[in-house]
């Protein structure tokens, strides 16, 4: 079958392309911006890529066109598909039909931690020799790729609540039909498609409705919004987890180090094992407990899961150390929501103690650019000694008010070169520079490491 994918260089659609190629389909695709590393990863697998959305890409008529959710009516390729009666489908539905229908699906949902928890879970099942399939919105250092067919029956999916396609406004995750479902947390996000938090809760409730009674829901008991979703209706057994060391029910921890680099894992007040690993932060403890619980449901003994996570190397762009230059450490992190910023900085502060932390943030997500988090952003930087916020030309709200709220230790920068230069001039031995963006930040990461070296 010839599968043509519109929007192929996105993380989800690119992973889908790799899975379709692994099924021996002929796979082609196009995107507005075809660039590494996704383009080179796809081309190395024999996938033909087209730059842009003109009609020339349909010289050979595909059997089906998979349309990404970034495309809408008016796009030349979309209009050509509709006008010429070419069969089309959304990415999540294609995944559900071609792959997930035959699998035991382990889905990880929530506003934060999906990529890390999914990666942990895939690592645990690999460690146990189960060779699961997976599709994850990032690349774990231990997995090397973001998508893999693996062996039946297990398939791990990062279950995103974003909408499916221009012709299907349901959340992606309702297509996945999980048997094991992790509910990490739930906050207001994706303001470009959801009017309020209740609209997101409604989609999570729809997800709850399709988990079978012989499945398992693994929920974060610290999250009121998750609990309120469960109260709307749950037809599946539940196991809860919490990073609260004073809790004694469900999955919990005790004897945790200050930075959570090691802790004892308990289930219903019975010791399951001691985990010492490379990660830090209470949020990663919650991710670990969720992954351990999900792995246990698929047949992995808890002690094996704990041993696996002791060797887990983390995920790219999640507090990733990208350079240690002249005693200055530079980190890259995907944080783009106030809660993610706060938990990442808390984890780093616990790790480095009183050493200086300089946080550099790009408000890039649609929700952030719309100003939805304008009133909660300042408080998220409380653990940083210095803060630099990048101000894009087309931002829709007043960043100066945020800087004023943070205080004298916050600066606004509107030029990548000048931000890098300022960091190089002010950085001292022992400093930790944390760069936070869900995009490439105009190449700031690479520029800063290079300029520090010179």
Angle at 444 between CA 439 and CA 187, to 5 degrees: 35
Candidate ranges 7-16, 289-298, 314-323; pick with highest mean pLDDT: 289-298
Q: What is the pLDDT averaged over residues 347-365?
A: 92
- The model's pTM is 0.90
pLDDT the model gives residue 358: 96
The yes-or-no verdict on residue 396 having pLDDT over 90 is: no
Decide which of 60, 86, 112 is a domain's last residue.
86
**Do 260 and 148 share a structural domain?**
yes
Q: How many domains does the chain have?
A: 3
Q: Is 208 in the same domain as 329?
A: no
Token digits of residue 378:
């300042």
Instruction: Identify the domain boundary among 275, 309, 343.
Output: 309
Give the structural domain span for 46.
Answer: 2-86
State yes or no: pLDDT of 369 exceeds 80.
Answer: no
Helix axis angle for 302-309 and 114-127, nearest 10°, is 110
Clarify whether residues 69 and 200 are in a common domain.
Answer: no
Q: Which of 257-266, 289-298, 425-434 has the highest mean pLDDT?
A: 289-298
User: What is the model's pLDDT at position 72?
Assistant: 96
> How far apart, in Å, are the Cα atoms of 186 and each of 205, 404, 440?
12, 29, 26
In the predicted structure, residue 37 carries a pLDDT above the cut 90: no
Edge to edge, the sheet with strand 104-109 lists 147-148, 133-135, 154-159, 104-109, 180-183, 216-220, 238-241, 251-254, 262-267, 270-276
Six-digit token string for 420: 């890098």
Asked whether residue 92 is assigned to any structural domain, the reply reads no
């Amino acid at each position: 079958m010839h599968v043509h994918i519109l929007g192929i260089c996105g993380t989800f659609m690119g992973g889908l392309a790799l899975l379709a190629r692994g099924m021996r389909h002929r796979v082609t695709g196009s995107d507005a911006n075809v660039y590494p590393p996704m383009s080179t990863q796809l081309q190395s697998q024999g996938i033909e890529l087209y730059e842009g959305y003109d009609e020339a890409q349909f010289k050979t008529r595909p059997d089906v066109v998979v349309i990404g959710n970034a495309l809408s009516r008016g796009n030349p390729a979309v209009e050509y598909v509709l006008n010429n009666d070419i069969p089309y489908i959304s990415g999540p539905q294609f995944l559900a039909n071609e792959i997930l229908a035959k699998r035991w699906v382990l889905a990880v949902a929530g506003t934060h931690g999906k990529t890390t928890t999914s990666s942990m879970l895939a690592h645990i099942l690999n460690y146990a020799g189960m060779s699961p399939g997976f599709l994850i919105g990032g690349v774990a250092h231990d997995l090397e790729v973001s998508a893999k067919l693996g062996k039946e029956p297990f398939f791990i999916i990062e279950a995103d609540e974003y909408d499916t396609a221009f012709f299907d406004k349901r959340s992606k995750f309702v297509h996945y039909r999980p048997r094991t479902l992790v509910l990490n947390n739930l906050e207001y996000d994706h303001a470009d498609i959801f009017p309020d938090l209740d609209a997101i809760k409604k989609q999570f409730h729809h997800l709850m409705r399709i988990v079978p009674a012989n499945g398992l829901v693994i929920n974060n008991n610290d999250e009121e919004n998750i609990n309120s979703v469960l109260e709307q209706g749950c037809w599946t057994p539940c196991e809860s987890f919490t990073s609260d060391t004073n809790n004694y029910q469900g999955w919990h921890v005790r004897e945790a180090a200050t930075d959570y680099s090691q802790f004892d894992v308990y289930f219903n007040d019975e010791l399951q094992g001691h985990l010492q690993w490379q990660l830090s932060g209470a949020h990663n403890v919650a991710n670990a407990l969720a992954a351990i619980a999900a792995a246990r449901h698929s047949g992995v003994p808890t002690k094996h899961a704990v041993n696996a996570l002791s060797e887990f190397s983390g995920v790219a762009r999640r507090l990733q150390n990208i350079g240690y230059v002249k005693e200055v450490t530079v980190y890259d992190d995907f944080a783009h929501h106030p809660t993610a910023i706060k938990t990442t900085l808390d984890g780093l502060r616990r790790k480095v103690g009183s050493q200086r932390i300089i946080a550099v943030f790009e408000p890039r997500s649609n929700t952030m650019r719309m100003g939805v988090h304008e009133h909660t952003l300042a408080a998220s930087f409380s653990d940083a000694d210095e803060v630099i916020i990048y101000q894009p030309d087309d931002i829709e709200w007043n960043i100066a008010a945020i800087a004023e709220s943070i205080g004298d230790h916050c600066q606004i920068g509107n030029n990548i070169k000048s931000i890098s230069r300022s960091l190089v001039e002010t950085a001292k031995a022992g400093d930790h520079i944390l760069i936070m963006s869900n995009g490439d930040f105009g190449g700031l990461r690479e520029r800063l490491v290079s300029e520090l070296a010179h």
